[in-house]
Structures are given as structure tokens and as C-alpha cells.
Amino acid sequence: MPGSSPGGAQVPRHGEIPSGRVAKSHHLMWRISIKQRRLLGGPQSSATRGQGTPSGERAQIVHSAFGTMQLSSAPDTDTLSPICPLDLLAARPLAMTSDAEVVATVQQARRAQQAWRELSIDERAERLRQAAKRMLARRDELLVSLREEIGKVDAEAMFNETLGPLDAVNAWTRVIKEHGSRERVSLNPINFPGKSAWIDLVPRGVIGVIAPWNYPVAGLYRAVFPALLLGNAVVLKPSEYAPRSSGWFIDVLKSVLNEGLPEGLVATVQGDGRTGQALLAAGIDACVFTGSPTIGRTVQRRCAELGIVCSIETGGKDAAIILDDCDLERTVAGVTAWTLGNAGQACGAIEIAYVTPGIADELVARLARVFRRLRVAPAARGETDVAPLANRRQFDLVLAHIADAQKKGATLVCGGRPTGVGLFIEPTILDHCTADMDVVRDETFGPVLAIVRVEGVSEGIAAVNRSRYGLGASIWTRDVDRATRLAERLDVGVVVVNNHALTGAMPALPWSGTRETGTGIANSHHALLTFARPKTVLIDRSDKPELYWPPYDRGLVELGDILCDVQRGVLGRAWKLPLLLRERMSRLTSFFREAVR
């Protein structure tokens, strides 16, 4: 599932394997060599002609544990060649990182982390602020990369990717200073005389991040920044669809963080699913991953085998529940933004609208008018409203969902077709959708809104709670008090009233879900244990032995027996406690004094 972007839109998704009809958008389209096909040796489909394959060249699709790869009879080199979704032209090939290089990178990161963890939180935060300011200054480089790799619209890229790093560093610094500093623990002086204790959060070491393609920079803020602030090193495997955009982020960090420290604190390893496997096996201490439930479970099992802490976010099918009393103008604007932002390629995008009868016809009509007016084509800066799909696999999946809905009785209100340029699809509204349609039950991840008409709000809430996924939902109504009560009935990780998944941009608030969304938590102090482990320190200033230390006797057993009665409110023998305590401590003291003479 993609996650939510710290820029206010949605976030991550990585290479994934198909799950039934729902072949996820993170499957690889890259052309790689016959040599790699031999190395994989997995089940192969019959030869097909791939979108990214030169004319006349035959390709094969191979499914591995970490993704689906299109293998071509290209030159025998280990390279990635992303395809630009704006014009379908291949980008300059990028060398993949070998397994041996992945291991060496993790080892170098571990050496650098020892020096980094010795810096104070203030020193680490200041370096990250410098890096964030450098990113802001070099934003045009990133905008070009995002456009060429995944076709991101400049306005969305500016607000969701380039504008956020300094705010994210500052917000994470506040979270960690409040919740990540030494925690003093109050102990009962009667039960624990002479004792004091505290808890420190200790960096885990090297954090592996397997990155998303839909927000290839902003999607990294919620993992990379807290990991570094807590004193860890980070090794990033960018998505195969956006290797240079995520790599740019790490390169800018390097340009600041490497000053005066051993190299390797932050590093990039480039490649496909096998590079992800190699990273897990290279000795990292924790993994952050966002993807489909199928691949998420695979990663989770592998991390368990290796003893690696992991944070796994695995899917979203967010819905808006729209009530008759909503502010119609704002609701139309908000649903449009959260359905079509990043062409709907976000786990927190609105994919379904559950609409009550009194507003349904007018809402659909207004949304259709807005959808038809939006600009969907490559254009000058600031003159495109809806981005293309990032890759051919996602493009095909979206069209398949639209066709399935129409076959099963949905009304195509607008859109539903490719524009004929690149991987653009017209913004689409499907009305009268039902629970058996793919656009209702599976993650579409495209510029498509499924309208489900419900008799009342309870029917909409029940439908949300039956979904495979449980990331987020929104309620649109003028009655905020009622919405507050309804929010308690929604079995999802995030509920927003009169807006949608913008909480993903807020480091102080947790981003998590239920059911097949997974157990991972991003953002807030609840996420810190992915990057640090609690370490308890207890100091005992007592000069006497503990009463339960050996040697044992009948008096100690009787003492324990009376204490059990006292705890359950039976006080008949409580008068004996002072005597038994004095006798016990006298015996212990005498025993050990005699033993050391």
C-alpha cells in the first residue's frame, strides 16, 4: 500500500508481487539482462512483448519473492532502465548494486553509526536542518527527476515533495526530545527501598529502508529523519521506478552529514527485489517497508527469521462517507483533491465515496463537471492537473478495474479511457458501484472514484469496516459533534472529518491501520521503537540484602503467605508481618556476616 506523504498527500509503495487479479503497481517494469534471468531461476511466463522492451525484442516475466521483473534479451549488464510515463521513453540505464556491495555498504554504515550516535540530539538535528535547507535550495533538480521518472505534476511535487524536509526535521526533533530522552521511573519506596531507575532509548544501529515510488522523497521523511535523529545509520533501497529521485535525497544528506564523520552513515543500494532481499540479509537491525499484504507478509517472515525489527504497512482502500448535510462545495473540492492527487497513486487516496440519498445526485453531477475540466496531459510547468500512472502495470490495472465495474453494472459518469499520450488516464467516476466490483474491494491506485449509494450512515460505516483494508476514512458533514461520535465506530487507523489523509504529513500523529493494512506504525512517538530499543538502568543504594534472597526458611514462606492474603483483603494475620520482617532481615544479615569472616 502506498502510505501517506509528509507533504499532505499519500505515501509509499514498493516492489510487490501480484495477488490474484490485483497485480500491484509496484511490480517492476525494468528491462534487465538474461544473466539476471538465470540468477533468478523462478517460474516464468510465456514470452510477451513488454511496454519497456525495444520493438521486436522478446521479454519474459519472472515472479520472485520481492517483485515481478520483466526480463529482456538486452545486453548482459546489471542495470535498471525506468520508462518515463509522460512519453514512454527509456531513461539512462542505472547500474544495480551487487549483493557483495550491499553487505559492504551495511558494514560501512555500521562503522559510521558509532561516531554519529556520540553526537547529541541537538547536534544531529542541526546537521539535518542544514541538509534540509540544501534540499530546498536544490529543489529544481528534484522536480526534474520526479517528472522524468514517475511523471509527477510540478505543483504536487512542489508541495508534497520539495517543500517539506525542514518542517519534517523540526517536527521530528520535537517528538524525539519529548519522548526519546531519558525517562525517570518512580518506584515504590516500600517495595523497592533505596532504588531508582530510568529508561533510555538506544539506537538500533543500521536501519534498512525499502522505499516507495509514489512519494520517492517525502515518503522517506517518516523513516530516515527519526532514524538519524535517534542516532542510527540508514541504508536505502530506492524503488526501481524512482531510483534517481530517492537517490538524490540520500546524496544531499551525504553532502552535509559526511563532514567530519566516517563515510557511509547514509547510503543507497540500487536494484530490484533481489537487492531488497540482499539488504535484509546484510546485517541490518531494522527494516521499514510499505507494500502489498502478500509481499509484506514475506518481508515480515524474513525479518522474524533474521531477528530484525520491522515496520510493515500493507495496503489501503480509503473511503469518504458523505452525508446529506455536508458543505457541498468544500466536499466536492476535497474529494477531487484526495481522489486525483498524484493520479490517485496513494494508499490514503479516496477510492470510494459512500453517499447518502439526499445528496447523491447533486454530488455526482458536480464532481463530474469538475473532473471533466481538469487538464490531463504533459504541459508547461503548472499547467497539468492530473499526473499519468507511474508505470504500465498500474495503468493496465486501473483500466481493468474500470472495465470490471462496467461489466458488473456500474455507470461510467466520466473518464474511463486513456488519453492516448503516455500513461495518462482520464479522471473517472463510476456510479452505482457494488461490493462485488474490483473498484470497491481491491486497491485501484489510480484516478478513479467509485460511488456507492447507501441508505444511511450506518450502512456506510459497516461497509468501511468490512473492507480488506483499514488505513483511513473521512466523514463529510456540517455536524461535527455527530461526526465525532461516528468516528468512534470506524475500525480504521485514521479518521478525518471534512478533510482526508493529511495527518500523514504530521510527525506528531500516528499513521497506522487495521486488518490487511498491517501492524506497522509510522509517525509519532508510537513509531520510535522501530528505530530505538528501550534500555533500563536501575541503581540500588541499599546496604542490606533483599528479604527474598537465600538462604530460605519457614518464616519466609509464612511471610509470603500472609502477604498474599493481605493483597486480597484478608487481614487476620497481618499483625505478624512486622515480627516476621525483623526476624527475616536479622537472619539474613547474620548469615552473610558470618560467611565473610
φ, ψ for residue 264, nearest 5 deg: 105, 0
d(CA 301, CA 304): 5
| Distance, first Cα to last Cα, the chain | 69
**Paired residues of 195 in beta bridges:** 540
C-alpha grid cell, residue 26: 509496484
Picking from 147, 86, 150, the residue whose alpha carbon sits closest to that of residue 377 is 86
- Helix pair angle (121-137, 243-257), 10° resolution: 130
DSSP per residue, 322-346: E-TTS-HHHHHHHHHHHHHGGGG-S
CB under 8 Å to 143, separation ≥6 — which residues? 154, 157, 158, 162
DSSP per residue, 522-588: BSSGGGGGGTEEEEEEEEE---S--TTSSSP-HHHHHHHHHHHHHHTT--TTGGGHHHHHHHHHHHH
Helix ranges restricted to H, 518-576: 554-567
d(CA 245, CA 251): 10
Catalytic site residue from 149, 313, 426, 516: 313
- Find out whether 356 and 323 touch, Cβ atoms under 8 Å: yes
Q: Give, as one character, the DSSP assignment of residue 92.
A: P
d(CA 226, CA 524): 10
Number of residues in the chain: 597
- Positive or negative, the CA dihedral 67, 69, 75, 81 is negative
d(CA 404, CA 259): 55
d(CA 442, CA 451): 14
**Paired residues of 474 in beta bridges:** 320, 496
Side-chain half-sphere CA neighbours of 88 within 13 A: 14
- Find out whether 269 and 275 touch, Cβ atoms under 8 Å: yes
> Which burial class, exposed, middle or buried, applies to 583 when counting CB atoms under 10 A from its CB (0-12, 13-18, 19+)?
middle
Residue type, 236: L
- Find out whether 222 and 209 touch, Cβ atoms under 8 Å: no
Catalytic site residue from 84, 303, 347, 433: 347
C-alpha grid cell, residue 260: 567530519
Residue type, 451: I
> What CA–CA distances, in Å, run from 482 to 323, 454, 525?
11, 18, 29
- Find out whether 236 and 268 touch, Cβ atoms under 8 Å: yes
- Find out whether 429 and 415 touch, Cβ atoms under 8 Å: yes
347 is catalytic: yes
Helix (H) or strand (E) holding 289: strand 286-290
Active-site residues: which are they?
Answer: 313, 347
